[in-house]
Each structure stands twice: as structure tokens, then as C-alpha cells.
Structure 1
Amino acid sequence: MKSYAVFLRGINVGGINIKMADLKSALASCGFTEVKTLLASGNVALASELGAPAVKQEIEGCLRKEFGYDAWVVVLGADKVAGIVEACPYPADDKSTHTYITLASDTAMLDELFEAGTRLDGTQQHRLGPEAMAWLAPAGGTLDSPFSKLSSKPRFKSGTTTRNLRTMIKVRDATAALQNG
């Protein structure tokens, strides 16, 4: 069994509401084991015999069937999540800024987003690997930050999702616990 983190895009915002108990039940009924949801923003730790691309395909199909929405997820192995958290040069807690990690299932899409971010005034960002990048937003102004506005464009919807670093640490710890059994 392999331990995975699954990051759902766009649930419990914008009208797509899924209770975490229902999400856990749906994923278990689709054959995933040791399913654990974290927070209410679509973060899941689970185990599967499948590889990451197959887990992604199965979960998106499961969510579309069970909840009736155009589901998009990013799936990363436990080691990959740990590496992303470790590589982040920004603090998890700071009074003036918040650290975010944008994750991608489509490397070319993340390349495009990262390149576009380099052209924004005042944006601090750092690439963490082919599937992740970190960026800073002012405390209390995340949604109004230039990078947040850029990354929320429909162009990036099917291949990216963003979490704050504190959430990524919780997901890392949950997937490591599954992996270490």
C-alpha cells in the first residue's frame, strides 16, 4: 500500500459543499483505505495499491459520480508532500505574510503560472519542484494579492490548487503516519 495526499480543488467554496464525513465515505466506497480528511477544505490522506495517476483518475470519477460536480484533484505521494514542505523557504507562521503552496497535476500549467508570477510587481515566489511552488501574500490581503488573482483564473482550474503552508504541514504529518503505519 502507498500513502497519498489528495487535494480537492474548489470544494466548500463557490457553492460546491461536501461534508468531510460524506467525502470519506465516498472514497472508502471507491476502494481506498485508511481514508482521513483534514480540515474542511478538501484535504485527504489515504492508502491505495494504485499509482498516483490512477488514484487521481479514480478519485475524480468517484467525486463526479457521488457529488455531481466537475471534480479536479492533485494527488501526491507522502514522500513528495514531505519534500515540498521541507523545500519551502518561507515561514509557516508570520504576522505580516502568509505562505501558500500552489500544487499542480499539470507541470506545464504550473510552469506558465510561475512565469506569469515573475512578472507581477512585489510577488515573492519560489519553485519547490515540478508540481509545487510557494508564494507569499500579505496577511489579511491574500485574495486581493496579484498572484492570488492570477492563480484563480479559470485557465488554471483543472490543474492547480492552493493550500497554506500550515495545512500542508498537517497533510504531511497525516500521510507520514499512514506510511509509517
Structure 2
Amino acid sequence: MSSYAVFLRGVNVGGITIRMADLRQALEPRPFSGVKTLLASGNVVLSSELSPAGVKKEFEECLREAFGYDAWVVVLAADRVGELVAACPYPADDTSTHTYLTLGSDTEVLDELYQAGTALGGAELTRLGPEALAWLAPAGGTLDSPFSKLASKPKYKASTTTRNLRTMVKVRDAAVRSA
């Protein structure tokens, strides 16, 4: 049995509202155990005998069937979440900046996003591994930052999602408690 963190894309924003209690209930008949939701932004820790790809497939099918939307998730081994948090070179949020991790389920798409982001110039952007990159945004201006606008393009929607470093720390901590 392996522990995983599952990050849902676009939940409780843009008209897709899922109560976390409803999500837990929808996941009950699936091959997952120890399902815990964190915050209302679509963060789940769970255990499963499935591979990460199997968890992704099963989880996305569940979301599509139960909630009727074109769902995408990024699945990471629980210990990998801790490694990514530890590898992030940027500070915890302060009064001037916020730190984010963009997670990806397709390395080639994340490679493209990273290359496009570095071409923007001036963006604080670091590749953390094949499934994640870290970046800084000005406090209060995250959605208006050039990298945020780039990452929100439709071509990245099916394979990436972004979380604040604070959220990643909470997911890491919950995954450690679940393991």
C-alpha cells in the first residue's frame, strides 16, 4: 500500500464547486483508503495499491462520473511532496512575495511551461524535478503576474495545477501523518 497526494485542478473556482464531504463520499467505493481532504481547494491524501498512474485514472473517472466535469488531477507519492517542499529555494510567504509550486503530470508539458516561463525574463522560476517547478509572485498580484497568466493558458490545463507553498506544507504534513 502506497501513500499519495492528489491535487485537483480547478476545483471550487470557475464554477466547479465540490464539497469535500461529497468528494470523500464519491471516493468510498474506489480502491483508496484513508482518504483525507485538506482545505477546500482540492487536495487529497490517500493510500492505494494502485500505481500513481492508476490512482490518476481512477480518481479522474470518479470526478467525471460523480460531478460531471472534465476533471484532471496530479498525483504524487506522499514522500515526493516532502522532497519538493524541501527543494523549494524560495522563502515562505512574506509581505512582498508569495511562493508557488506548479505541479505537472506530463513532463514534456512542464518542460514547455518552464522554457516559456524562463523566456519571459524577470520571472523567479526554478525547476524542482520532472513534476514540479517553483516560482515567486508579488503579494496581492499573483493572478496578474506574467508567469501566472502563462500557466493558466488552456494548453496547460489538463496536466498542471498550482499550489501555494503553505498549502504544499499542509499536504506534506497530512501525508506524513497518513503514512
CA distance in 2, matches of 1:100, 1:156: 16
1:121 Cα deviation after fit: 2.9
Q: Which 10-residue stretch deviates more, 124-133 or 21-30?
A: 21-30
What is the letter of the counterpart of residue 22 of structure 2? Answer: D
Question: What residue ranges of structure 1 are gaps of 5+ in the alignment?
Answer: none
Q: Alignment partner of 2:178: what SS? A: helix
Q: Who is 2:154 aligned against?
A: 154
CA distance in 2, matches of 1:54, 1:121: 38
Q: Which 10-residue stretch deviates more, 115-124 or 54-63?
A: 115-124
Q: Alignment partner of 2:114: what SS? A: helix
Q: Which 10-residue stretch deviates more, 109-118 or 24-33?
A: 24-33
CA distance in 1, matches of 2:161, 2:93: 20
Q: Who is 1:174 aligned against?
A: 174
CA distance in 1, matches of 2:176, 2:29: 23
Task: Give the fraction of aligned pairs with identical amino acids, expressed as a percent.
Answer: 70
1:28 Cα deviation after fit: 1.9
Q: Who is 1:19 aligned against?
A: 19
Question: What residue ranges of structure 2 are gaps of 5+ in the alignment?
Answer: none
What is the letter of the counterpart of residue 15 of structure 1? Answer: G
User: Within 5 A, what are the aligned runs for 1:83-122?
Assistant: 83-122=83-122
Q: Who is 1:128 aligned against?
A: 128
Q: Who is 1:42 aligned against?
A: 42
1:22 Cα deviation after fit: 0.5
Q: Who is 1:33 aligned against?
A: 33
1:29 Cα deviation after fit: 2.3
With the length of structure 2 as denominator, give the TM-score of the two structures: 0.98
CA distance in 1, matches of 2:144, 2:61: 33
- Across the aligned residues of Structure 1 and Structure 2, the Cα RMSD in angstroms comes to 0.7
CA distance in 2, matches of 1:153, 1:132: 17
CA distance in 2, matches of 1:136, 1:27: 34
Map Cα deviations across residues 63-95 of structure 1 (whole Å, 9 max, x no partner).
100000000000000111111000000112211
Runs of 4 or more, structure 1, over 4 Å off, are: none
1:27 Cα deviation after fit: 1.3
8 Å contact 2:102–2:163 — kept in the other structure? yes
